[in-house]
Amino acid sequence: MLFFSVLQDYPAADAFNYAFLGALSYALILYGNALWLIPHLYRKKKYFLYALIAVLSLGIITYLRAETQYYIYYRYILHKPMGRLTFANYALPFVTHCLFFIFSIAFRFTLDYFKIKQQQETLLKQHAEAQLNLLKAQVQPHFLFNTLNNIYFVAQRESPLTADLIEKLSSIMRYFLEQGPHREIPLQVEMDFIRNYIELEKMRIRHPVNTNIEITEDIAGIKIPPMLLIPLVENVFKHGVDKRGKNNYITIRLQISDRLHFRVCNRYRSNAHHNGSGWGIGLNNLSQRLQILYGDNFQLTSDHSADVYISNLTIPL
């Protein structure tokens, strides 16, 4: 379209030169600002660096466009040495580039709008599926809990250890049924669930598993989406525990600042089954869920040395 609009006043070769270089400069500004500068600088609050690079980029692109256009125009159309460019030769494309830069900001916001809308639709779909699965799972839950309570009182007389395990199992099942459907639950409830889960898993392992859970701050009143922390712990018992070994351990550290930092350490097993990313399926699913909940505002990493595997999760509060 730009080519045909220019073709009305200029020869075809000059019109193509103008249209091609114009479209190239516009594309650099549009996609450079929308897809790189805003996500990597502006969104990370590096405002000065963002403004500096934006102004320099506009100046460089304007200079290169003007110099190239007029060089081609003089060299291949007029067939004479290139004349000296005036301030006006740079000013007009620079103003046009500035307008396109403003348009690129609107373009970025439009992309974000449709991305958020898609994420909301995905969350609604997942929420509906979760509710349906929950309804399918809630087959006479009161009957189940009453039965577990009866077994618990019998086991308490015959085998206190068995009774303790039944109590933990009951707590875990209540967590799934009562806390699972909520968008946010108390962090203390999530940590109690993790403790019960660890105790049940330890019963399947022949030798003791050294467990250390460290919470450095008061977590009362803090809420998070349910089932965000447990995949890191579950990953330990799936891939990081030798059920016949004697040196298994799991160390959990929970720190609270303006963000929640959750760290899980365990013994590294080089022969453990992981996919190509080094994660189990549970951590990959967790990463996808975090992406929906927080966009890019989270960190989920894993690393290992010769004998230690470390998983870290950081989310905003």
Label residue 138 by pLDDT band (50, 70, 90). low
On whether the CB atoms of residues 219 and 188 are closer than 8 A, the answer is yes
Cβ-contact 240, 267 below 8 angstroms = yes
For residue 51, give the amino acid letter.
A
Indicate the pairing of strand 185-186 with strand 210-215. Answer: unpaired
Question: Mean pLDDT for the chain?
Answer: 76
Domain spanning 185-316, CATH class: alpha beta
pLDDT at 5: 47
Q: How far is CA 11 from CA 16, 76, 77, 169, 290, in A?
A: 9, 12, 9, 82, 55
Q: What is the phi/psi pair of residue 301, to 5°? A: -135, 160
Most confident of the following: 95-109, 228-242, 250-264, 267-281 = 250-264
- Residue 280 CB burial class (10 angstroms; 0-12, 13-18, ≥19): buried
The whole-number pLDDT of residue 1 equals 47
Query: Which CA distances in Å does 138 have to 161, 177, 185?
Result: 27, 7, 20
Give the other-Cβ count within 10 Å of 184's Cβ: 11
- The answer to whether residue 260 scores a pLDDT higher than 90 is yes
Higher local confidence (pLDDT), 299 or 87:
299
Task: Give the pLDDT confidence of 103-123 residue by residue, as tens digits.
Answer: 888 888 888 888 888 888 888
More confident position, 135 or 172:
172
Looking at the whole model, is its pTM more than 0.75? no
